[in-house]
Amino acid sequence: MKIALAQQNYHIGHFEDNTRKIIGAIQYAKSRGADLVVFSELSICGYPPRDFLEFNDFIQECYKAIDIIKEHTEDIGVIVGCPQRNPDKEGKDLFNAAWFLYEKQVLGVAHKTLLPTYDVFDEYRYFEPSFNWQVISFKGKKIALTICEDIWNLGDNPLYRICPMDKLMGQQPDLMINISASPFDYDHDVDRLEVIRANVLKYKLPMFYCNAIGSQTEVVFDGGSLVMDAQGHVVKEMKYFEEDFTIVNTDDVEVQKSGPRSPRSNQKLQAVELDKEMRVSKISDPDKIIEYLTAEKNIGEIYQALLLGIRDYFRKMGFSKAILGSSGGIDSAVTLALACEALGKDNVRAILMPSHYSTSHSVTDAEQLSRNLGNPYDIIPIKDIYDSFLSTLKPVFKDLPFSLAEENIQSRTRGNLLMAIANKFGYILLNTSNKSELSTGYGTLYGDMAGGLSVLGDVYKMQVYALAEYINRNGEIIPENIIQKPPSAELRPDQKDSDSLPEYPVLDKVLYQYIERRQGPKEIISMGIDEALVKRILKLVNTSEYKRNQFCPIIRVSCKAFGIGRRVPIVARYLS
């Protein structure tokens, strides 16, 4: 039996587009002689549809799409992801389902059992877990069909009390098919390959694994669908960060013992294994965390994810042009370079907005950067507006000394200018804040924290430097002076980030333990980091929750990004 995997990029709620894509792949699979074509989780509506699932109208649209697609299943089996109504009186109203369509009929429907409800996932908000497991027979093969998380309950500390593949094994399936929407983070490809391998080795069955690709607001799906034989060999690995299509014959999976693997997969698997060792050793050694965070494998993947994240945000929002503030600092430089790569240099407009306190190199460095990239830029000094704020506020501020208020006026004037130009010409403002700043609240609400999409909000400062080096890997794009100079907000004379924040290598190390690894103060101090410093950093994080709450979506590249995946009370008094 020839099984096709269609790794596609869906637009949430855009039924017309998604249906057209799916039918296109069905027809192509037919033309290539496939017996069955497999699509990713909730492919009909796009993943994650979130509270749209609470609208009966939305579910009706899903069902209509199923009806349309069903008409194209003569002579080919089709597995698509689509919510299904729960006919029972009790329990949530929907199942997260994989529909097996064939000969214009529904041959079977598998319901997801394990509903991820952590980090960015909210599935138990919408779905009832499956309590009934049946293999599906098709052309003489018994297929164990599961959905994403269903295969993730192996290991030392399972999140669930049930394992759906164990339930299916009693019916002696011949192969496993899993349809997923498994998101990218720079650790997750490792985990994913390990989990698929653990499944094939445990159940001694081959796995056809179809993942989603494409960025959905903040969550990036990276593809990498694959076919693995029962011995844990990768028979076929599909592209990362791109749509892809493949057909694999089940005969080739079954006879495969130690035969030839795809060279690309070997490479990936080797990288993954190396990376896994490195990860374990480095994360447990606090002195090696920065080395791990900035490792070339991770930075290269983050780079790809950010490009896809930018591109899909603009395309799916119906925009083509970006604007951003170019300060001559490293964060805006890296954001600008990424935006030019993602959208095309002519579609990215940089605005240089020097103030009283800007150093001369700020403008010259930013100009050099745009000359290197070839994107349009303007210089708009903020002095007159700033002065006019000060004179307007004089009756209120009187002779009070210069303070944070005056710093923020400058930053918000820039935010206002950028938004004005964006409104006038139809740009989206790209935000340039990094994760270290966002963590500590080192930014101005409505000022440098403004924007429609945050490119670097899940990238620590030390990783921003590594990205700059990566961008320059084939020649200087980001001027060396931008990389070398000490970071500064330039909102008062001779200001440096280090006046307000610990040095970034120490800061990022502590932040990673607290945010990604959820270590508390005692654990972090026990790693040999100064107690007062740790407490100061955690307090900065916890007292700036109110700022992050108003921040734009962040392209997620780590296992714990700010935004929908991290839900912390604003009004609280804990470590603060």
**Part of the chain binding its own copies (CB under 8 A), chosen from 25-33, 205-213, 308-316, 487-495:** 308-316
What radius of gyration do the chain's Cα atoms show? 26
Q: Provide, rounded to whole angstroms, the least separation between the CB of residue 524 and its own copies.
A: 10
79 to each of 43, 66, 108, 210, how far by Cα in Å? 10, 11, 10, 10
Instruction: Rank residues 255 and 400 by Cβ distance to its own copies and give the closer one.
Output: 400
- Tell me which of 112, 167, 268, 316 is the catalytic residue: 112
Under rule CB under 8 A, which residues in 342-361 are in contact with its own copies?
Answer: none
Using the rule CB under 8 A, is 132 a contact of its own copies?
A: no
End-to-end, the C-alpha distance of the chain in Å comes to 60
Q: Provide, rounded to whole angstroms, the least separation between the CB of residue 52 and its own copies.
A: 6
**Part of the chain binding its own copies (CB under 8 A), chosen from 199-207, 289-297, 443-451, 461-469:** 443-451
- Tell me which of 45, 62, 82, 148 is the catalytic residue: 148
Instruction: Rank residues 475 and 574 by Cβ distance to its own copies and give the closer one.
Output: 574
Closest CA to 449 of 408, 395, 482: 408
- Helix (H) / strand (E) element for 539: namely helix 531-543
Instruction: Tell me, residue by residue from 476 to 515, as one string, x for binding to its own copies by CB under 8 A and - for no binding.
Output: ----------------------------------------
Q: What angle do CA 67, 44, 558 make, to 5 degrees?
A: 170
Q: Provide, rounded to whole angstroms, the least separation between the CB of residue 297 and its own copies.
A: 27
Q: Provide, rounded to whole angstroms, the least separation between the CB of residue 5 and its own copies.
A: 25
Whether 539 is catalytic is: no
Q: Provide, rounded to whole angstroms, the least separation between the CB of residue 156 and its own copies.
A: 8
Q: Provide, rounded to whole angstroms, the least separation between the CB of residue 551 and its own copies.
A: 7
Closest CA to 5 of 33, 40, 31: 40
Place of tokens 């269903």: 150
Peptide bond into 395 cis (omega under 30): no
Tell me the two tokens of residue 146: 């599961």
Q: Rounded CA gap, 217 and 314, in Å?
A: 10
Closest CA to 237 of 298, 185, 196: 196
**Part of the chain binding its own copies (CB under 8 A), chosen from 58-66, 231-239, 475-483, 489-497:** 58-66
Phi, psi dihedrals of residue 132, rounded to the nearest 5°: -155, 120
Peptide bond into 48 cis (omega under 30): yes
Tell me the two tokens of residue 5: 């995997």
**Part of the chain binding its own copies (CB under 8 A), chosen from 71-79, 181-189, 223-231, 521-529:** 521-529
Instruction: Rank residues 75 and 118 by Cβ distance to its own copies and give the closer one.
Output: 118
Instruction: Tell me, residue by residue from 395 to 414, as one string, x for binding to its own copies by CB under 8 A and - for no binding.
Output: xxx--x--xxxx-xx--xx-
Of 31, 132, 258, 391, the residue at the interface with its own copies (CB under 8 A) is 391
445 to each of 54, 62, 463, 561, how far by Cα in Å? 33, 39, 23, 19
Q: Provide, rounded to whole angstroms, the least separation between the CB of residue 157 and its own copies.
A: 7
Phi, psi dihedrals of residue 39, rounded to the nearest 5°: -115, 170
Q: Rounded CA gap, 294 and 299, in Å?
A: 6
**Part of the chain binding its own copies (CB under 8 A), chosen from 64-72, 94-102, 150-158, 434-442:** 150-158
- Tell me which of 21, 41, 407, 490 is the catalytic residue: 41
**Part of the chain binding its own copies (CB under 8 A), chosen from 21-29, 138-146, 285-293, 418-426:** 418-426
Using the rule CB under 8 A, is 392 a contact of its own copies?
A: yes
Whether 559 is catalytic is: no
Instruction: Rank residues 396 and 532 by Cβ distance to its own copies and give the closer one.
Output: 396
Under rule CB under 8 A, which residues in 205-234 are in contact with its own copies?
Answer: 215-217
Q: What angle do CA 138, 139, 145 make, to 5 degrees?
A: 25
Instruction: Rank residues 57 and 277 by Cβ distance to its own copies and give the closer one.
Output: 57
Closest CA to 39 of 62, 14, 19: 19
Instruction: Tell me, residue by residue from 357 to 386, as one string, x for binding to its own copies by CB under 8 A and - for no binding.
Output: ---------------------x-xxx-xx-
How many CB atoms lie under 10 A from the CB of residue 274? 13
- Helix (H) / strand (E) element for 393: namely helix 383-397
Amino acid at 389: F
Tell me the two tokens of residue 263: 């060279």
Number of chain positions touching its own copies (CB under 8 A)? 104
Of 56, 270, 281, 498, the residue at the interface with its own copies (CB under 8 A) is 56
Q: How many residues does the chain have?
A: 576
Instruction: Rank residues 257 and 573 by Cβ distance to its own copies and give the closer one.
Output: 573
Using the rule CB under 8 A, is 420 a contact of its own copies?
A: yes
Q: What angle do CA 105, 68, 135 make, to 5 degrees?
A: 35
Whether 242 is catalytic is: no
Q: Provide, rounded to whole angstroms, the least separation between the CB of residue 574 and its own copies.
A: 3
Place of tokens 């994080």: 541
Q: Provide, rounded to whole angstroms, the least separation between the CB of residue 168 and its own copies.
A: 19
Ordered DSSP codes for 129-174: PP-----EEETTEEEEEEEGGGG---SSS-SSS--HHHHHHTT--S
Instruction: Rank residues 233 and 349 by Cβ distance to its own copies and give the closer one.
Output: 349
Instruction: Tell me, residue by residue from 85 to 124, as one string, x for binding to its own copies by CB under 8 A and - for no binding.
Output: ---xxxxxx---------------------x-xx---x-x
Cβ pair 443, 550 in contact under 8 A: no
Of 30, 50, 202, 535, the residue at the interface with its own copies (CB under 8 A) is 50
- Looking at the annotation, which residues are catalytic? 41, 112, 148
